[in-house]
Chains A and B, each alone.
Chain A
Amino acid sequence: MEYELNYNEIQKEAKKKNRQQSLRIFFGRGVTVKLCSAILVLFVVLSLLLPLVMNLDPNSQDLVNRLAAPSAEHWFGTDYLGRDVFARIIYGGRVSLMVSLLAGTFAAAVGIVLGLIAGFFGGIVSRTIMAATDVILSIPNMVFTMIIAAIMGRSVVSLTIAIGIGMVPTYIRMVNGQILQLKENDYVVASTLVGQSSLKILFKHLLPNAFPSLIVLYTINLGNAIMTESSLSYLGVGINPPTATWGNMVSDAYAYLYLAPRLAIIPGICIIVLIIAFNIVGDGLRDSLDPRLRGKL
């Protein structure tokens, strides 16, 4: 009993130490990771909270004041329909972040479950899932997503699902590979021998051990989802107007590149900054969660 107590305390202590070490590694990677983390937090906070405290209407038109320059009233000026560009950036960020989070989460949920099943059970189930994955991966992701988006129509929900489906194969591949590797470990064999159920082994032993890689993939995929959403909106298969997204703001502003370049540059910068931030934070997470790197930093 005393031994068991000590063991639990040691385990708790080790987990705490691991967490601290991970955070230390994450934030010890230099100013870039800190800056990018701050940017992500800032974008989320601005997108979610600013509309609550400021009177922002992204669709309100002032047809007399079209293409107005930045001013105290309109911080980023107005667009070709007299809409406030700052309000559209904030709301556009909200849509872009929401689409990326929902698509990323949808892809992760479906991909992880299918990957777990394929990796753990093997046989015909695995072959079927992996064959379907290969088929999807054989089609360029943008083309595949465009086809799904075109079939499902132009709305936030259809775009989210289209982007999510396009990302599912990456999760299946990764989880399947991880599980194939992890299930050969002694602790999994031991769990099987002591009669633990497949579900318990999957969710208690295998999935937690695959999490570090999954978190990294999830983070990077959030950036990719924003990129895909912007690309689809730019190509005209995104969300219907007048809903603002950064992608369709860039697309709509293209014709005004000479007259009012800020209309394209501002959302363009937002897209670039957010994608870079997601990627750098993803890299940081990978380093901090990878046990092999812990001793090196």
Chain B
Amino acid sequence: MKKWFTVCLVILCLVGQVFAGGSSEAADTGSGEEGGGTLRIGINTENVHTMLSFTMTGTSDDYYYSWPVYESLFKPNAEGGVDPWLLESYEMDKDNLTYTFHIRPGITFSDGTPLDAEAMKWNLDHYLEVGAKVAALLSSIESVEVVDDLTVVLHLSTWSSILPYAFSRECGYMYSPTFYQEHGEEYCTQHPCGTGPFVMTEWNYDVSKRFEARDDYWGGPVKLDAVEYIIYTDALVAQAAMQSGELDVYLAPDPETARSMEASGITIKACPVASSTYMLCFNSLNTTGDDPTGDVRVRKAISHAVDWKALVQAVWGDYASYRNQFGVGQHFYSDSVIGYDYDPELSKQLLAEAGYPNGFTIELKTEDSSALINSATIIQQYLSEVGINAELSVLAGADGNAAEAGWGKGLWVHGSSVYVSAPMQMASMFRQNLSGHVLGLTTLLRPDDVEAALALSVSAATEEEAVAAVGEANRLLTDEYDIITNFAETRGLFAVADYVKDSGIGESFYSVADLANAWLDK
């Protein structure tokens, strides 16, 4: 009996120690504006492939893990545009087909070497050689020329107005050429050496990454001692960790988790600039000739059958807005696009005109995500009210990914991230003669007038011209042909504890933060 009592006592002491250790650790993580501390960021997945800038593909996880170590030539702002970041200024010359970039003086990589024109040219050349987005975003660049220590000129084959947007994403991250040449590519994929305020010191796969503050950061003193990314694959566990103070930030919760967190008192920051758009896509190409969606009247009937505003409110609540055209934010928004009001009677009338007075059965497919499934389920219910029996299929993993490029017959509910610039995104989705993994490559109609409008939007001499061209492309895609019915723009969501100050997380666009100035008020 005594033995048992002793064993129990020892176990209790050990458990007590564990919990006491946990709380003292938590208390050590922050100590005021100038006092350092560790910012603990929860994230739901590992960045499995690489941390080497020019081999990144531009997924949201690429951006999140890059916050401490990389900075880009331009930076998305809260208005939906981009500002120079590593650049001090830039000039565009449409007549001579050049962009001139002036690098901000005094910038150094985390290995101490400077970011100069040679380093930038090395990075841009590398990206043009192996980068994942060259074909979609940078194909107009012919060569990169070093003019002086801090000036680089890009020579283009055709004019492109989207380059500043392209260089605000992973295409514009800078990596130390010296570090790369010293260590080789394989080593560098696991050891980022950028211009950012932190250096990665630990990478435990599927568990965590630790970044420690640089004392030679070009932007001035870094307030935090370190940033730690910890993987929480289960959102509810992450919520519990936020509530207990084990986490200071949780990245990109889905709308349900965000609502749940907000209800439990955790602050959810929704980026002012939306980052994803959701749409219903039709098999408008109808190569087999027997799909009802090959008839534009049927497509319009389907679009009028659904109360899109109610759908958006039900699925996302206040974290999204109804949007009747492709894109995000106000910059490229066009009032000339009418969209589709909820009008079941008009829908039935259009179906009757198209020869389907009693409706029909159609396939409705989507990928395996809660927002998409909920949207598809709601669409299915609305369609049943006008006599259309939509058979819902949820395609997971590789099946879903493959179907995105061509889902066969019927309807496809799609969510697409939009990186600030609508022309940049639309050019890689709706133009003719695209190849590779493109939305609806074998199912979406690509009319000549849409192609012309999108071509103009990319080569526009002025921003006004680009905006007008995007508006026209959207009018054709939506009102004229109803190739897609766009219904939502959603904003990047972040759970941020109230004591995390000046982090920039969730304050402009999902891909950027300002960890150099972040501090913990506790």
Contacts and interface: CB of A to CB of B under 8 A. Distances in A.
Interface string B236-249: 10010000000000
Contacts of B311: 63
Given A63-B378, A81-B377, A242-B377, A256 B260 contact: yes
Contacts of A60: 381
Interface stretch (B12-20, B291-299, B366-374, B507-515): B366-374
A81 B374 contact: yes
Contact of A256 (B256, B394, B396): B256
A80 interface: yes
B216 interface: no
A269 B260 CA distance: 23
A257 B237 CA distance: 11
A241 interface: yes
Contact of B260 (A59, A66, A237, A259): A259
A60 B370 CA distance: 19
Interface string B348-381: 0000000000000000000010100110111011
Contacts of A81: 314, 374, 377-378
Contacts of A153: 393
Nearest to B395: A154
Interface in A142-161: 153-154
Contacts of B314: 61, 63, 66, 80-82
B254 A255 contact: yes
B9 interface: no
Contacts of B48: none
B381 A258 contact: no
Contacts of A256: 256, 260
B264 interface: yes
A82 B374 CA distance: 12
B31 interface: no
B313 interface: yes
A236 interface: yes
B517 interface: no
A254 interface: yes
B374 A80 contact: yes
B310 A258 contact: no
B55 interface: no
A268 to B, nearest CB: 15
A128 interface: no
A198 interface: no
A240 interface: yes
B257 A255 contact: yes
Contacts of A80: 256, 314, 374
Contacts of A61: 314, 377-378, 381
Contact of B380 (A64, A236, A242, A257): A242
B132 interface: no
Contact of B393 (A236, A240, A255): A240
B394 A259 contact: no
Interface in B104-128: none
Interface of A is mostly: loop
B331 interface: no
Contacts of B381: 59-61, 242
Contacts of B393: 153-154, 240
B257, B263, B380, B381, most chain A CB atoms within 10 A:
B381
Interface residues of B, number: 28
B263 A259 contact: yes
A153 B365 CA distance: 13
Interface in A237-275: 237, 240-242, 252, 254-259
B236 A258 contact: yes
A257 B256 CA distance: 10
A255 B256 CA distance: 6
B236 A241 contact: no
A237 B368 CA distance: 10
B497 interface: no
A133 B374 CA distance: 41
A258 B236 CA distance: 8
Given A59-B381, A63-B313, A242-B377, A258 B396 contact: no
Contacts of A259: 256, 259-260, 263
Contacts of B239: 258
A259 B380 CA distance: 26
Contacts of B376: 241
A81 B370 CA distance: 12
Nearest to B376: A241
Contact of B377 (A66, A241, A254, A257): A241
Nearest to A242: B377
B392 A241 contact: yes
B370 A255 contact: yes
A66 B310 CA distance: 11
Interface string B380-395: 1100000000001110
B453 interface: no
A11 B393 CA distance: 57
B392 A242 contact: yes
A90 B86 CA distance: 61
Interface in A59-90: 59-61, 63-64, 66, 80-82
B392 A240 contact: yes
A241 B313 contact: no
Contacts of B392: 240-242
B238 to A, nearest CB: 12
Given A63-B310, A255-B256, A256-B256, A241 B235 contact: no
4 nearest A-B residue pairs (beta carbon): A255-B256, A63-B314, A258-B260, A63-B310
Given A236-B396, A255-B256, 10 more contacts: A61-B377, A61-B378, A81-B314, A236-B368, A237-B396, A241-B377, A241-B392, A242-B380, A255-B254, A258-B263
6 contacts: A60-B381, A64-B310, A153-B393, A237-B396, A255-B254, A256-B260
